[in-house]
Amino acid sequence: MGEIRQAAVRNNLLRLVSAESFDAIAKHLEFLELPRGFELSEPHEEADYAYFPESGIASIVARSPQGQHAEIGIFGRDGMTPATVVLDAGTDPYSIFMQVQGEGYRVRASILKQMLDEDAAVRVLLGRYAQALSVQGAYTSLSNAVHHIDERLARWILMCHDRTDGDEISLTHEFLSIMLAVRRPSVTTALHMLEGRKLIYSERGMIIVRDRPALEQFANDAYGECEREYFRLIGPFS
């Protein structure tokens, strides 16, 4: 702790705060592994820590009273949790957990909160991130309503690819089916479809992007809007 160089950090939000703000927060940052399944936040519970992933992918899932669930958004080194901290909301009703393992920094939520009170620039940045996340949820909603499974799957693979270093994404069909709120066998067939078009390779527990431009073209209407909105609100990341 206390000797993290901002230039070496990969999390986009941590990179974008001013050097002064970064120094203020850096001494409280703790680096840790984020294994698959790691819970970053549980529904209706006040989070002890805020997490800023350096790698890996986290999933935000809403659950109905009867236990139905659907993913409303994902983030990796483009984001953080809990976004509610900047809105003084205390808790949110979501499960947030690591879906592709990675690493990241965490800081006590109380410390981050205090920083936000004192540092308007950081407050603005995280506020804009909260908006980007909300827009991501909105477009997930649209996609759930109007797009076919294979398009939604393509969208989802693209969104993961954006947040991953190579072309390999480590995921099971089972997991994908939860994320897309469809049956597991539907994922299998949809993946075969994408594989047949030579857009991806699919192996046991692994999806490999083979032709990203064609994949974007296939996802077509389902991909792009909320990425553009992130770019407008926060800026580029890669």
Partner DNA sequence: ATCCCTTTGTCTGATACCGTACCGAGCCCC
Partner DNA sequence: GGGGCTCGGTACGGTATCAGACAAAGGGAT
Which residues of the chain form contacts with DNA (CB under 7 A)?
A: 148-150, 172-174, 181-186, 188-189, 191-192, 202-206
Cα separation of 18 and 102, whole Å?
A: 25
Cα separation of 3 and 210, whole Å?
A: 39
Q: Please, are residues 202 and 191 in contact by the beta-carbon 8 Å criterion?
A: yes
Residue 142 touches which member of a copy of itself, DNA, none, C-beta under 5-8 Å by kind: a copy of itself
The single residue among 146, 184, 192, 205 that binds a copy of itself, judged by CB under 8 A, is 146
Residue 139 touches which member of a copy of itself, DNA, none, C-beta under 5-8 Å by kind: a copy of itself
**Residue 68 near a copy of itself by CB under 8 A:** yes
Candidates 26-34, 57-65, 184-192, 210-218: pick the segment binding a copy of itself (CB under 8 A).
57-65
The single residue among 98, 130, 157, 169 that binds a copy of itself, judged by CB under 8 A, is 130
Cα separation of 128 and 49, whole Å?
A: 20
Of 180-199, binders to a copy of itself (CB under 8 A) are 181
Q: Please, are residues 206 and 170 in contact by the beta-carbon 8 Å criterion?
A: yes
C-alpha angle with apex 138: 230 to 171, nearest 5 degrees?
75
- Count of C-beta atoms within a 10 Å radius of residue 87: 12
Cα separation of 235 and 225, whole Å?
A: 14
Q: Which residues make up the interface to a copy of itself (CB under 8 A)?
A: 62-66, 68-70, 72, 84, 86-89, 92-94, 124, 127-128, 130-131, 133-135, 137-142, 144-147, 181, 220-222, 224-225, 229, 233
